[in-house]
Amino acid sequence: MTATCSSVTFLLDDVFSTSLSEKKQGTCANNVTTDLIFDTWKVGYNHYHNRKGISLPNTEKLIIEMMKISEHEISWLQTNGAMMMSELGIEKGNSVVDFGSGEGRYTIPLSQLTSKNGQVFSFERDKDAIAVLTERLSSFSQENNVHILNADDLDITPHINGNAIDAILAFDVLQYIQDWDLLFSSFHGVLKSKGSFHIYPAALPHPGSVDMELATSKLEKCGFEFVKSGKYRMMHNVDMVDDMIYSFRQT
């Protein structure tokens, strides 16, 4: 990528892999090396400010946050996550629940994908995880469409008005919940007609911890039908995995 500083174009091979204190030499538009030296931090900082059209304090947070996490997680939070969520059928303008959202590895892509006319309800009981989610959200999504709820309730109906939700994600969370009947019933109560419910049991890192045959049976009794299952390239904690997601639909 390139960033312009006055009349000189600075070539950014990868500003985030470069030390903040390191300096690089600029080139003119005709690729003739100049004697001018630019500070990597300042050029990268202003480049992102200009490209994203956001205020400088938010840009600074973006770059600092990027320095803390891996390259594949940056790619996931910037673009790949939203692309994967779209493969589940989630669209711009949808209202979505991310139940057990953790640090926001699914909430943030959902926010980007659903856009300003959509909504994301992020349910998480861990306050430390919510703090990370809040910080990353301000860096990676400018949609301002996420409602973060610090709740330990399995019944989410008091938090959402009527049948307003297009899709629900329960990713890497069912193994920590005992009362699936209450949870699934509350999900059915907030979904729109034919709304979707997606389960990621995290089978690779937690083999056998979620009995999908039992989950399917309970969901059918609650008014859901199985739609499909498929393998997706996605994040689990800090790693990229190829794992199964199971999709259901309200009947």
Domain ranges of the chain: 2-68, 71-250
Span 40-95, pLDDT tens digits: 555 565 665 566 666 665 665 665 555 578 889 999 999 999 999 999 999 999 99
Span 154-201, pLDDT tens digits: 999 999 988 999 999 999 999 999 999 999 999 999 999 999 999 999
Reported pTM: 0.75
Count the neighbouring beta carbons within 10 Å of the beta carbon of residue 213: 7
Q: Both tokens of residue 94?
A: 């949808």
Name the amino acid, one letter, at 97: V
pLDDT value of residue 237: 86
- Mean of the pLDDT values across residues 202-210? 85
Which residue has tokens 């630019």? Answer: 38
Span 101-155, pLDDT tens digits: 999 999 999 999 999 999 999 999 999 999 999 989 988 998 899 999 998 899 9
pLDDT at 20 over 50: no
Residue 190: partners with Cβ closer than 8 Å, 6 or more residues away: 97, 156, 157, 160, 162, 163, 164, 165, 168
Give the 3-state secondary structure of residue 232.
strand
pLDDT value of residue 3: 39
- Mean of the pLDDT values across residues 227-249? 95
Residue 102: partners with Cβ closer than 8 Å, 6 or more residues away: 124, 126, 129, 133, 172
pLDDT at 36 over 70: no
CATH architecture of 71-250: 3-Layer(aba) Sandwich (3.40)
Give the 3-state secondary structure of residue 73.
helix
pLDDT value of residue 17: 42
Name the amino acid, one letter, at 60: E
More confident residue, 178 or 13: 178
Long-range CB contacts for residues 214-220, cutoff 8 Å, separation at least 24: 214/180, 215/174, 215/180, 215/246, 216/246, 216/248, 218/180, 218/181, 218/184, 219/184, 219/248
